[in-house]
Structure formats: structure tokens, C-alpha cells
Chain A
Amino acid sequence: AQKVTQAQTEISVVEKEDVTLDCVYETRDTTYYLFWYKQPPSGELVFLIRRNSFDEQNEISGRYSWNFQKSTSSFNFTITASQVVDSAVYFCALFTSGGGADGLTFGKGTHLIIQP
């Protein structure tokens, strides 16, 4: 069975600080996909990134970066120079194609609060 753990329930930082959101996943499948979604206070879910299990390259998109490490089954998300608009709940999710229900397994989310 698949599992995604986001151990940080809530993080609060002051604007301009860097912050890392942790994500640890469990799966027996060798082919899988990892995702991060953002849920701002308005409630919609915004896709941020998708990574497949064969691509361990780190990715940077503006102030956002992602560190994928298969050795530790982690897919961490870092926001550099945080801004108030980054305040949201962030979800890490896993999709595997090796049987079972075809859908995303979500972590419980990390509520990120950026204080001005």
C-alpha cells in the first residue's frame, strides 16, 4: 500500500525566510509519480510539480525548488525568500501504477503561515 507522510502539520515563518516542507513516501512500486499541490485560503487546488521515479534531478522554478531523493524516499519542497502570498496548505501526493486504486495518495498537508 502507498503512504505519504507530511510530518509538519503547521509551519510559521516570517516573510523572506526560507522554508522547507518535508514529504516522505512509501511504495513498493518501482514506477511512481510524486506531486505537490498548493491549496490557498480560497480552497482550490493548484498543481505545482510532478516528478517520476526515474528522474531524480532537482528542480527549481523561481523561488520554489524540489529535492527528490529515492535513497530516503523523500520529496521535499523549499520556498526561498517566502512571501505572504505563499501562505497556504501544501499537499504532497503519490501515484503508483502497480495495482490498487488508480488515484493520488495524499499526505495530510502542511499549513504554511508566512507572517509579514
Chain B
Amino acid sequence: NAGVTQTPKFQVLKTGQSMTLQCAQDMNHEYMSWYRQDPGMGLRLIHYSVGAGITDQGEVPNGYNVSRSTTEDFPLRLLSAAPSQTSVYFCASSYDRVNTEAFFGQGTRLTVV
């Protein structure tokens, strides 16, 4: 009964490096999304997907790419890390786009130095 699993939990990157944050869910949810949480800012939507093969941009998509080749997985790629991307990243999934009850992963704390 894993729910939404994010890896890694912590990561330190150097400016300019690339990496992929992994997100997997085992609830057969169609809708998945990525948020970033910054102090005093709440959570902001980066990208989302309403089903396999379909992705779209959220409020703060610049510097990030996503893909959804399977229902279960929704990785978030940082193309060239910048200090402004230091944040806590949350992946979420829900049964449908109306967010009947969004299940969140444990979060990934990313530091870019």
C-alpha cells in the first residue's frame, strides 16, 4: 500500500547539473502533478498530467520538463539546475482532474549550490 512514492528524499546539486525527480503511484490514478513549496509561498503547480501521454504546464513550469509514458510514473526533470530551484518538491496524484482527494508524496528537498 505504497500510495505516492517520491525519490530521492534529499538531493544537493551544483548549478548547471541536471537530474530527474522520480514519482510513482500504485493507485491507478489518471491525474498526477508536481508542486514546489517555498517558504511563505505555499505550493505552486509546476506541471500536471491528466493521463498517460498527456502533460501540460502549471503556474511555474520554466526550467522543468515532464513526461508521462505510463499511468504509474511522472518524473520531473531539471534541465540545468539553478539556485532559484532550491525548494521542496511534491508529487501528487488523484483519481481524476477534479482532485477528489489528492494524495501527496513525502516530498523531495532539493538544494542547488
Contacts and interface: CB of A to CB of B under 8 A. Distances in A.
Interface residues of A, number: 23
B42 A109 contact: yes
Interface stretch (A56-64, A70-78, A95-103): A95-103
A68 B99 CA distance: 18
B108 to A, nearest CB: 10
A50 to B, nearest CB: 6
Interface stretch (B19-27, B52-60, B69-77, B78-86): B52-60
A98 to B, nearest CB: 12
Nearest to A52: B98
A102 B48 contact: yes
A50 B100 contact: yes
Contacts of A108: 40-42
A50 B101 contact: yes
Interface of A: 4, 9, 33, 35, 37, 43-45, 47, 50, 91, 93, 95, 97, 101-109
29 contacts: A4-B42, A43-B88, A44-B104, A44-B107, A45-B92, A45-B104, A45-B107, A47-B101, A50-B99, A91-B42, A91-B43, A93-B43, A95-B99, A97-B97, A101-B45, A101-B56, A101-B59, A102-B48, A103-B45, A103-B48, A103-B58, A104-B33, A104-B43, A104-B45, A104-B99, A106-B44, A107-B42, A108-B42, A109-B42
